Amino acid sequence: MTNPLFYAKIILFGEYGMIEDSQGLVVPYSFYKGTLKFSDLSSDFELNSNRHLQKYADFLTALDLSDDFKLDIESFKADISKGLFFDSNIPQGYGVGSSGALVAAIFEKYSISKLNPENISKENLKKLKAVFGEMESYFHGKSSGMDPLICYMNLPILIENKENLDRVAIPDGEEGKGAIFLIDSGITGETGPMIQIFFEKMKTEGFRKTLKEEFIRYNNACIDAFLKKDMNPFFRNLKKLSHWAYEHFRPMIPESIFKIWKKGLDSNAYYLKLCGSGGGGYILGFTKDYEKAEKMLEGFQKEVIYRF
């Protein structure tokens, strides 16, 4: 039997803000995916993946997960010795959840008490997110557990606050002029150092104040308008959010993106925001007229993820 596929994820809204109790909207992205497979480990990719799984299994052995969410580590280790690896095309360091998909795949295959993602209660969603946070901390030092949860559920999730999250329906995409798209910054980013910068910034009262009073307000307003498909207030708040990030998240914006970020704000042709922790990887773009934005962003690799 083939193992299920686990898709990448995209944080449409809530990067960094979710650490401080803003809302978040996270969606699966099926263009990238990964699955656990067996092989004779003849390629470097397969061999490296298998070796990483060996180290990760040791980390999981030491984790004290609650009884409802325990893993069969012995089976996991036995499979690793038989040539298990994670076959994935999810780019690492791009903010689309490469470690999240791996954690979700391992949990799905080796959890002792099987869950059905389609009927998990809101309470268990919260517990599962905490478990995934512990499992993913191996990769980032500290994890909210959000990425693996999205990859595992394969459904859009609305994070209401630190305590509450639930499945949500996003408006159906349609072939309009508008689009949400990804721009490749051309470099990989590392989550750990970016989060460190954020926590350093949080030590200053001025930054904490503007994050709470401005960023979180614009972020939550964007989510509310997007889910209602109310595009005028959506783009109005999006511009404020993009401008705020340009002012306050400078270290997280890759240098290759500075000029086009400002160009979008000045022209109102498109607006950019971070996709995940920033520092590299993908940047998210939003526009009412993708053809126009595409011409202005010539030379950058782009992928449309949603049309409206």
Residue 93 reports pLDDT greater than 80: no
Q: Do 35 and 159 reside in the same domain of the chain?
A: yes
CA proximity to 96, closest of 6, 174, 36: 6
Helix, strand, or coil (residue 29): strand
Q: Do 243 and 293 reside in the same domain of the chain?
A: yes
Which tens digit of pLDDT belongs to each residue from 226-278?
Answer: 999 999 999 999 999 999 999 999 999 999 999 999 999 999 999 999 998 89
CA proximity to 153, closest of 123, 180, 129: 129
Q: Do 53 and 196 reside in the same domain of the chain?
A: no
Q: Do 162 and 183 reside in the same domain of the chain?
A: no
Residue 1 reports pLDDT greater than 70: no
User: Residue 164 has what pLDDT?
Assistant: 84
Residue 50 reports pLDDT greater than 70: yes
Q: Do 19 and 162 reside in the same domain of the chain?
A: yes
Q: Do 20 and 47 reside in the same domain of the chain?
A: yes
User: Residue 174 has what pLDDT?
Assistant: 78
Q: Do 197 and 116 reside in the same domain of the chain?
A: no
Q: Is residue 235 part of a domain?
A: yes
Q: Is residue 172 part of a domain?
A: no
Q: Do 163 and 187 reside in the same domain of the chain?
A: no
CA proximity to 257, closest of 280, 240, 286: 280
Q: Do 85 and 151 reside in the same domain of the chain?
A: yes
Among 167, 198, 233, residue at a domain's last position: 167
Report the alpha-carbon distance of residue 83 to residue 47 in Å, rounded.
8
Q: Do 163 and 65 reside in the same domain of the chain?
A: yes
User: Residue 288 has what pLDDT?
Assistant: 97
Q: Is residue 186 part of a domain?
A: yes
Contact between residue 6 and residue 101 where contact means Cβ atoms under 8 Å apart: yes
Confidence class of residue 134 from pLDDT cuts 50, 70 and 90? very high
Question: What is the domain count for the chain?
Answer: 2
Alpha-carbon distances of 250 from 45, 123, 194, 259, rounded to whole Å: 34, 37, 11, 12
Name the DSSP class of 190.
Answer: -
84-108 CB burial, b ≥16 within 10 A, e <16 = bbbbbebeebbbbbbbbbbbbbbbb
CATH number at residue 289: 3.30.70.890
Q: Is residue 254 part of a domain?
A: yes
Q: Report pTM.
A: 0.84
Q: Do 230 and 97 reside in the same domain of the chain?
A: no
Q: Return the higher-pLDDT residue of 51 and 146.
A: 51
CATH number at residue 127: 3.30.230.10
Q: Is residue 187 part of a domain?
A: yes
For the record, the structure tokens of 220 come out as 């939550």
Q: Is residue 193 part of a domain?
A: yes
Full domain range(s) for residue 23: 6-167
Q: Is residue 1 part of a domain?
A: no
Which tens digit of pLDDT belongs to each residue from 207-222?
Answer: 999 999 999 999 999 9
Q: Concatenated DSSP letters for 134-186?
A: HHHHHHHSS--SHHHHHHHH-S-EEE-SSS-EEE-PPPPP-S-S-EEEEEE-S
Among 123, 142, 167, residue at a domain's last position: 167
Among 111, 137, 167, residue at a domain's last position: 167
Q: Do 65 and 93 reside in the same domain of the chain?
A: yes
Q: Is residue 44 part of a domain?
A: yes
Which tens digit of pLDDT belongs to each residue from 161-201?
Answer: 877 888 898 888 778 899 999 999 999 888 888 989 999 99
Report the alpha-carbon distance of residue 147 to residue 102 in Å, rounded.
10
Q: What is the mean pLDDT of the chain?
A: 93
